[in-house]
Each structure stands twice: as structure tokens, then as C-alpha cells.
Structure 1
Amino acid sequence: MILKAKNISKQYRLGTVGTGTLGHDLNRWWHQLRGKEDPYLKLGAVNDRSSVANEDYVWALRDINFEVKQGEVLGIIGKNGAGKSTLLKILSRVTSPTTGSIKTKGRIASLLEVGTGFHGELTGRENIYMNGAVLGMRRAEITRKLDEIIAFSGCEKYIDTPTKRYSSGMTVRLGFAVAAHLETEILVVDEVLAVGDAEFQKKAIGKMQDLSAGEGRTVLFVSHNMASVKSFCTRGIVLENGNAGFEGSIEEAVSYYLTYENEVIPENLELIKDRSGSGMVKFSKFYLENRNGQIVDTVLNGETVTLCFQLVVKGISKNENIDLGFSIHTPENDLISVLYTSYQNNNLNINKAGEYLVKCSIPDFFLNEGSYIVKGRIECDKKEADWPKEPIGSFNVFKGDFFGTGKLGFNKKAKILIKGSWETVC
């Protein structure tokens, strides 16, 4: 085991730096002198951004436990404010935990935020040496890797320019190049790669994969990009309000992350008043299922997504043909796509009154990341049965591994993703 975190907790006093007051410091010292527990460890609110602060203390992290093996790539995911960056700062020894301990074997290189460890007045070259020294590298080690670091960063032209004149993207490039090329056993990377362009993200992910698979380096990776996480990581931890909500395979962790935050309760569509049609068949509920059969409002493109339509049939003869259709739109109501069961010669097996659930599974879900709304319409023997004038549902799409290659950089203006078969004909 190259890294072990045991009962890691981090407490902050709201609105102040440090413990807050001299009185609190003296109180802590007095309890410590008598061999008693810090009295303020019994206080503190849960790290929940949606609640109002009613206490002076908050637990950014609470009782985090995990182990990482050599060569493993651990993804740490969770919504903003869940405690991901705090955990990485503790693991990188930027800050110390309030309680708990961390045991590591080897040196740790960290890239936590833009410009970490850089001095703006120093040139890129000088910052490479300074950053390497901070990481515990000898000058000879840094010199041996210098040309490789500069070439990877793509900052050759500006390497002797003070970094205060670098853009945020250039700073991230150089910082990542230093952290990835110096010979440390553990690499810690926060969301900063999102600052770089698509080309550099691809290059950085490839480099980290080489470090893990080829050199046996351990990587701790934080990102909100689920495509990067799924293609790169082998195991995942999901943080919820400062607690470890889930730990397991990266597939299970991503699925948990996309479903835990909000319980999705389908709305009663029968309450929609503005609708037309005979009413013999009506929409009653609509929701989406992911590939694990969980009801969700957020999906990943490239995965199988199932649209579920619950219907109420009030009266129908055996010979009537029901044609169910839906359309997907942008929030601005721009039409993306339409599908009816009749387009695929699909005759729904509905021949008497009752409730029915109709599912439409779409493999390799084709929509780019963004928000979408769904409208629905039903015909019975080509006569309108139900047409709600407002959307029957909505959902969000996150960036997934649509192409099956882990490649990123979709153009956000393109709403539809396509795949093709390629060949070169001489």
C-alpha cells in the first residue's frame, strides 16, 4: 500500500483564519495540557452548502478512510464544495488534518490550482528548478529532465519569460509538465486541467496513463469530466458533504455520483390542463433510466439511455393502433429530434383499459452535453389521443465516452454527436 488515509477529518471556523480567537486557542491548550480531547471537535455543522450556517464550526471532511495501491489511479468525484480539494490539500501536506493520519511511501507531486508553487517574478525555467526543489528533487535530477519538461509544456518560446506574463493555460501546462516528469511516486491532480485546451487535456491524460501503466506511478485525480474519469481511473471515491458516500469501481462510482444528489420523482402528467386529444390514452408519467435501471435526470452520452412513458388507457378496442411519439428540444425550444413508434413499425401491445409502461432504449446516446426538454404526443388510429402543450420532462447530459476512446474536446455548439466508419481508398 503506497498511501493510506485513516479517519481524516478537517474542521474550519467560519469567517475567520485559524482557530479564530485567543480564547479558543487557550481553551484548546488547556484541554491538551490535561490530556483531554479538543472541546471544539464536538462542535461543527455538516459541510452542506444548501443549509444556512447556524454554528461557528464546519466539518469540511469527516472520517475519510481509503487505501491506494502502487500504480492505481483513484478518481475522487463529487459536487462543488463536497471536500475534494480539501482532501487533496491534506494528502499533499499543504494543510494538516484536524484528526486522522496519512501514511505514504515515496514523494508526492501535486498540481492543485493554477500557479501552485510558481513565483510570478521568476522565469518559466527558474520556476521549474524551484518547483522541483520544493518537491524534493536534486538539481541534477531536474536538469536531466529539463528539456523534456519544456518540450511537453509547449512553452519553449516563453520559457525565459517571467510567469506573471503567462496565461492561465500556459501556467497549467508548465505546472503539469513539472509535476508529471519529476520522479515522484504519487501524482495528485485537481480540476486544473480543465483550464487547458482540448489538445493539452488529451496530452495530459495520455501522460498520466503512461505514468500509471508504464512506470507504476500512483495518481489521484479530481475532475467533473466523467469521460476523463471513466477512461482514466480504475477506482473511485464519491464525496458527499464532506463524507465518503461511496467507494468502488469507477463505473459504479460515476453511476452513484449521477444519481445520489437528487432523488428523481416523476411528475404526475395527468395534472397538465393545457392538452388536446380524445383522452382515451394519456401520458401519466415520464422519466429516464440509466443502463443500471436507475431513475435519473442526468445521463452520460455514449451510454444506453431509456426513455420511460407511463400511460393511462381509459378505453380502446383490440384493433386500434396506438402511435406514441416524443421530441427532444433545447431549453429554447429548438427541435433536436423526433421519434414515433410508427417510424419503426412498432405496434404497442395495448388492447384494454389500464396502466402501461412503454420504454424506448437508445444505445450510444447521441446528444452533446447540455440541458434538454421532452415533449410527447399519442395517436389512436391516426386520431389525436393526447398532446400536452407543455414539456412532459427534462434531463441533463454530461460528457461521456461517446466514441469509446476516451477522447475529449466536443464542440459544445454541436448538439448531435455522430460516429463514422473510416477507410482510405487509393
Structure 2
Amino acid sequence: MKDIILKAENISKQYRLGTVGTGSLVHDLNRWWHQIRGKDDPYLKIGDTNDRLTKAESDYVWALQDINFEIERGEVIGIIGKNGAGKSTLLKILSRVTAPTTGSIKFGGRVASLLEVGTGFNGEMTGRENIYLNGAILGMTKKEITAKLDEIIEFSGCQRYIDTPVKRYSSGMYVRLAFAVAAFLEPEILIVDEVLAVGDSEFQKKAIGKMQDISKTGGRTVLFVSHNMVAVKQLCSRGILLENGTIVFDGGIDQAVERYNNDNVLIGSFVSWPFAVAPGNSNAKVTSIELIAENDEFVIENDFKIEIKYANLLDAHTLNVSVSIMSDSDQYVLATPHLERSAQEVGHYKSVCTIPANLLNTGTYYFTVILVGNNFEIITQLDKIVSVEIGEKGIHRKNYFGYWGGIVRPYLNWSNQKIG
């Protein structure tokens, strides 16, 4: 017999674009009249699928549509998909932050979630007080929370500031304490969104280890969302792949990641968008991304460049671009943000980053581009949007073309001298 701890049946979530609600008194009255007669909401029959790159033909959009799955006790599930696929919306519904438009969810235990920096915390209260607050929300007694208090504080690494109001915490400290609270107060279901990316690499490893521990030894269920496929494969045994608000794959994690990579990577060194559908928002949009090499030779011995063109639509807008590189085995190679942030006038701009020669080894590499605006708002994140195959001429190692391991392969200076 399966021990099902969470079951989602026909979950859908619809939003109206623009203003909240129907935006019309006539629509509101019509909706109310259908509801009191036990009829379906007439406006649920209107709507587009949630495709970020197409222009909407309706005022309504389905963020999720017809989501069905069962999760057994102790399973660790990776929920993956590109930005806008519906991952965070699904987790908010599972965490009861928002209600589904249609469908139902059945739980077999307490749920703790870590969705966004600051979710569930009161900024005016101290770290210690917030631990007790969150434990009470989970239905724990003060005695039960006190028994876990020292472990939570130690794991978070916030001992020095535990009696300071959390509004003074950095985003990294916030996440450390919030994760420790969620993990140590023993929920049967732990839901973790991409918020862990805010923490440093040491804490991310620590958090993944803790999630592995609570699933294997505690028999608790973990739902994990991340764009870091290495972490997903390390932690999860099963993957659910979302695309435009629907489940397109549910199965083994290796197959889910492979499907994600195949579906979401543009094999090629150039991409551009018509302005009307260019990724971004009303403040700024990315219009093209291109990898450029002299004579189109992408080889170890040559520099090459990544060129990002974007439109700034907001006067005195502080913008900058960040680029991350992943290997074909989903290893994070490097990140390189343009650190010079300055206010820009409305207009079109180009950012160019040079990848120096003798840095990357041979192989295929994928580039993620992030456009960042005022207050470090992520305007758009384009995961693995372009790729390149790096070869070599053999200038430095002459006639030897055997295996040379490693992601990077710098040409370093060596000296040789007789010492005896």
C-alpha cells in the first residue's frame, strides 16, 4: 500500500492580467450570481496559456492548468522548469499562501515552507521571537519549540544576532534562520523554493545535506525548486517538469533533468526577439544575445565575446547585466556580473563581456543571462539561452591531443632549471 502524504487533483490557477479581480462590477455580479446557483465561474472559460514569449489574446491567463500528482511519504521531489513555468505558483498553493482557482489538495501532515526571503517572519520581532512564532503557526507547543531552539540557532549561524529584530538582518541571514526554522521544527512536508540561492555556497551545501537527512532518517517529504540542476540531481529522486503551467514530465530525476535541458536550451550562439515579445517588463527588455568570435572560431586559443542588447524604458534606471556559464554536465563554471551600475537614460544599450582565451576547456557550454534593475530587481533571467562548442587548434600542446580533464584549462607559466 502506498503511503500518500500529498495529493493534488485538477489544480488550476487563473489570474486576470492588469488589475486585481474582474475589474468590472457587471463581471463581479455575474460571477456572484453563478456561484450562489452552484454554477461554474463563467470567466474561468476565458484565458490564455502562460507563455511568456507570446502576446496575450485575453485579459485572463492560466498560471497553472490541470495539475495532478501524488507524493509518497519520504519522497524528495524536484520541481523544475524555466521562469514563468508555474513552479512558484504551485508551491504557494501547496503552502496555502494562495488558493487554487479549481481543484483540491489533500495533506497527510504539517507543511512548512520557505518560499521568499521574509515569508512568515515579522520584521519587528527578534530572531528568537520569530522561531517561536513560526513554531506556533505549525501547531507546536512552546515546550516543543524550546527543545529545538539551540539546534535551530546553531545551524543558522545567527547566534550573535538572534535577539536582534530580523528587519536588520541581511538577506543571507534571513534565509539561514528561515531555513533552520522550517527544517528543525519537524514538519511532515518541507517545501523549499529558489530562495536558497540567496545564501552562500557553504550554507547551500549545508541546507541540501539537512534536507537529505530529514528525508532519509526522518521519513519526511521534501519539495525542492531550483535552477541548479546539480543540486536537484544530488538531492531528489523524482522530478516534475512544468512548462507553461502544465506538467509535461513526471518521473525519475535524471530523465526529468535531461528533458529540461533538451527543451530549454537554445543550441546556437545567437537569439533575438521582436520588441513586442522581448523578455523583460515595462522597465526594461532584452532584445538580443550573441556569442561572437573572430572568424567564428570558438577555440581555446581565441578570445570570444557575449553581447547583450537591451532597451531601457525607464528614465534614471540603474541597470546591469550578469552572465553565468554552465558545463554540459550542469556544473556551474562561473558567474560574471557587470559591476559598474549607473543610472541610464531611456534608450537602447549594449553590454559586452570578453571570455579570455585559454580559460575554458573543450566542450559545450551554456550561458544564462540576467538583466538586473533598480534595487537589484531581476527583470528577466534567461536560463541557458545560448550555447557554444569550444574546440582547440593545438597551438600550445603541439601534437598531443589526449584527454585533458577539468572545466577550465588555463595556459599557465612554467619554468625549468637545473638545480644539481
Question: Is the counterpart of residue 171 in structure 1 residue 174 in structure 2?
Answer: yes
Counterpart position of 1:142: 145
The answer to whether residue 323 in structure 2 is matched with residue 300 in structure 1 is no
> Residue 328 of structure 2 aligns to a residue in which SS?
strand
Do the aligned residues in 1 keep the contact of 2:111 with 2:187 (CA within 8 Å)? Answer: yes
**RMSD of equivalent CA atoms:** 3.3
- Unaligned 5+ runs, structure 2: 271-294, 298-325, 333-352, 369-383, 395-404, 411-420
Q: Report % sequence identity.
A: 64
1:16 matched to which residue of 2?
19
Shift of 1:256: 0.4
| Distance change (3 Å), C-alpha of 1:161 and 1:227 | same
Q: 1:337 to 1:197 in 2, by over 3 A?
A: closer
The residue type paired with residue 237 of structure 1 is: I
Question: Kindly tell me: are residues 416 and 166 of structure 1, through their superposed partners in 2, closer, same or farther at Cα, counting changes over 3 Å?
Answer: farther
1:230 pairs, out of 222, 229, 233, with 233
Matched, 1:258 2:261: yes
Report whether the alignment pairs 1:160 with 2:163: yes
Q: How many residues align?
A: 311
Write out per-residue CA displacement over residues 289-325 of structure 1, whole angstroms, 9 at most, x where no aligned residue: xxxxxxxx9722569xxxxxxxxxxxxxxxxxxxxxx
Alignment-derived partner of residue 133 in structure 2: 130
Q: Distance in 2 between matches of 1:22 and 1:366?
A: 53
**TM-aligned CA distance change 1:174 to 1:338, over 3 Å:** closer
Which residues of structure 1 form unaligned runs of 5+? 268-273, 277-296, 304-329, 340-361, 379-401, 404-413, 418-426
Distance 1:86 1:153 in 2: 27
Counterpart-to-counterpart distance in 1, 2:296 and 2:172: 51
- 1:118 maps to 121
TM-score normalised over the length of structure 1: 0.67
Offset of residue 262 of structure 1:
5.3
Shift of 1:332: 3.6
1:105 & 1:415 partners in 2: Cα distance? Answer: 47
- Residue 54 (structure 2) pairs with residue 51 (structure 1): yes
- Structure-2 change in CA distance of 1:184 and 1:41 (3 Å): same
2-side partners of 1:52 and 1:368: how far apart?
Answer: 26
Instruction: Name the amino acid aligned to 1:164.
Output: K
Deviation at 1:139, TM superposition (A): 1.4
Specify the alignment match of 1:334 in structure 2: 357
2:84 to 60, 75, 81: 81
Once the 2 structures are TM-superposed, how far is the Cα of residue 136 of structure 1 from its aligned partner? 1.9
The 8 Å contact of residues 76 and 223 in structure 1, kept in 2 or not, is answered as yes
Distance between the aligned counterparts of 1:183 and 1:63, measured in 2? Answer: 31
> Which residue, 229, 242, 246 being the options, matches 1:243?
246
TM-score normalised to structure 2 length: 0.67
Distance 1:21 1:337, change over 3 A: closer
**2:97 is matched with which residue?**
94
* Pairs within 5 Å for 1:206-221: 206-221=209-224
**C-alpha separation between the residues in 2 aligned to 1:92 and 1:275?**
49
**What is the Cα deviation at residue 265 of structure 1?**
8.0
* CA gap 1:96/1:237 in 2 versus in 1, 3 angstroms: same
C-alpha contact (below 8 Å) 1:61/1:87 kept by paired residues: yes
- Alignment counterpart, residue 40 of structure 1, candidates 40, 43, 46: 43
The CA deviation string for residues 361-380 of structure 1, in whole angstroms up to 9 with x for no partner, is x7xx89999964546779xx
Tell me what 1:104 maps to: 107
1:258–1:299 Cα contact (<8 Å) kept: no
Aligned to 2:194: 191
SS of 1:2 mapped into structure 2: strand
Shift of 1:47: 0.4
Rounded to whole Å, the distance in 2 between the matches of 1:18 and 1:275 is: 52
Change over 3 Å in CA distance of 1:189–1:337 after alignment to 2: closer
